[in-house]
Amino acid sequence: MLDVADNPVVFPPTRAAAIDRLRAFLPRAGEAYAAGRNHDHGPGAAATVSRLSPYVRHRLILEEEVLRPAVGRHGPRLSARFVGEVMWRTYWKGWLELRPEPWRRYEVDLTKAVEALDADLALSDRYAAAVAGQTGIDAFDAFAAELAATGSLHNHARMWFASIWIFTLKLPWVLGADLFLRHLVDADPASNTLSWRWVAGLQTPGKTYLATAENIAAFTGGRFCPTGLAAMAEALEEAPLPPPRGLPPADLTPPDLSETAGAPRLRPADAVGLLVTEEDLAPESLGLDPAAVAAVAGAVHPAARARAGAPRAGDPPIGAVARAFLDGAMRDALARAGAALPSAAVERLADDAAPEAVVAWADRSGLEAVVTAYAPVGPVADWLEAVEAALAETGIPLLRVRRAWDTRAHRHATKGYFAFRETIPRLLEQAGIRPA
């Protein structure tokens, strides 16, 4: 049984660690990645994947910074698999931005599922056994232990885990999605929610993913041979979703990373406050005029990752590894912000800070405007809406900066991924990502 104290998969929560990991991975970002990416040799084995996901998810490193050297070194054809994996996250975020209804349904259904645990002892026992890795299904139990101890699972293992959770153990998919959201270091509302929906047959209506013993054995090098798995996966059903909306507007756009140095800096007011959240931990690249930034504040929201009262009483709201990563990554981001914005006073707000804490910070800092990186659909975006309303009562605007990468890509997430994939060469070109 793995233990958090003996975590064999370590994600140092700094931008410097992300850059080091990228450099180490780049030689394998071409053919080697394509050949080995589906194989899961276990948490203590050499990685067949990049293990960059937590850094990209929280933007300790940006998508362009990861893709530019990969394409430059291996070319578009050989790097296509790796590029595609990075673009999946971009696509999921854009898809949910255009269709927020699945996130709202997830929140409602999670509330109901938690209430059902309290009312149904048999369901509660099955849920507890699954979370503890005590189902008797060797692969699933090992993945449950790995998730809790490392805050990570191979992408293929996540699919197997979700399929067994839904179709073999007959547990509500929203409880599994909640478990991942609380423990995965790289969990975000879009990728997590929509991937679980895909396995369940909701995201692509009628199309499910069925884990099989043969597939698990083949891609884990024979480490597991699970028995008793469901022989079929009947798709879950739901009411039709509304059509996609337009991409919500942003207030500001920073200079593109592909632009030359010396691009005009953003200066929305003479006394600007920069509010840093876990959705974007690259504050130094938001393009703000350093002379105008009077104060920087950062806040993380671990409790917001456990929605609707989940998990059950007595469980930690967020896994220890994920919590430590959030904490360290915010410290690192604020240190970089302080170095890039030397005239700004830098402070960290309390975890899960109320909107009023932001208002108090803005007041004592004498701010005329607060700027923050645009947060896509999810708990942080919901919190920022409340912050915006609270600040508005004092006459201070909250201005959201959306990166050009998101603006260009998210508007194309109107259909399935394969339609989105057709736009990838153009998106890379627009970002200045080309072969060397």
Mention the CATH class of domain 4-98+409-430. mainly alpha
Please check the confidence at residue 237 and state whether its pLDDT lies above 80. Answer: yes
Domain locations in the chain? Answer: 4-98+409-430, 111-219, 272-402
Long-range CB pairs of 357-361, under 8 A, 24+ apart, other chains included: 357/299, 358/275, 358/297, 358/299, 358/387, 358/390, 358/391, 359/387, 359/390, 359/391, 359/393, 359/394, 359/396, 361/273, 361/295, 361/297
User: Do 110 and 175 meet the contact criterion of CB atoms below 8 Å apart?
Assistant: yes
- Maximum Cα interatomic distance, the chain, rounded to a whole number of Å: 65
CATH among 2.60.40.2230, 1.10.10.60, 1.10.579.10, 1.10.1740.10 for 111-219: 1.10.579.10
Q: pLDDT tens digits, residue range 370-400?
A: 999 999 999 999 999 999 999 999 999 999 9
What is the chain's mean pLDDT, rounded? Answer: 93
What topology is assigned to 272-402 in CATH? Rossmann fold (3.40.50)
Confidence bin at 401 (pLDDT 50/70/90):
very high
Among candidate residues 263, 105, 314, 267, the one with its CA nearest the CA of residue 193: 105
Among candidate residues 344, 366, 250, the one with its CA nearest the CA of residue 297: 344
Q: What is the model's pLDDT at position 3? A: 64
Q: What is the model's pLDDT at position 304? A: 82
Among candidate residues 330, 328, 386, the one with its CA nearest the CA of residue 358: 386
pLDDT (mean) for 244-252: 93
Please check the confidence at residue 269 and state whether its pLDDT lies above 90. Answer: no
Q: Residue 162 and residue 259: Cα distance in Å, rounded?
A: 42
Residue 295 has φ and ψ, to the nearest 5°, of -155, 150
What's the pTM value of the predicted model, to 2 decimals? 0.94
Q: pLDDT tens digits, residue range 158-167?
A: 999 999 999 9
Q: Residue 362 and residue 299: Cα distance in Å, rounded?
A: 14
The DSSP code for 294 is: E
Q: What percent of the chain has pLDDT over 90?
A: 86
Confidence bin at 308 (pLDDT 50/70/90):
very low
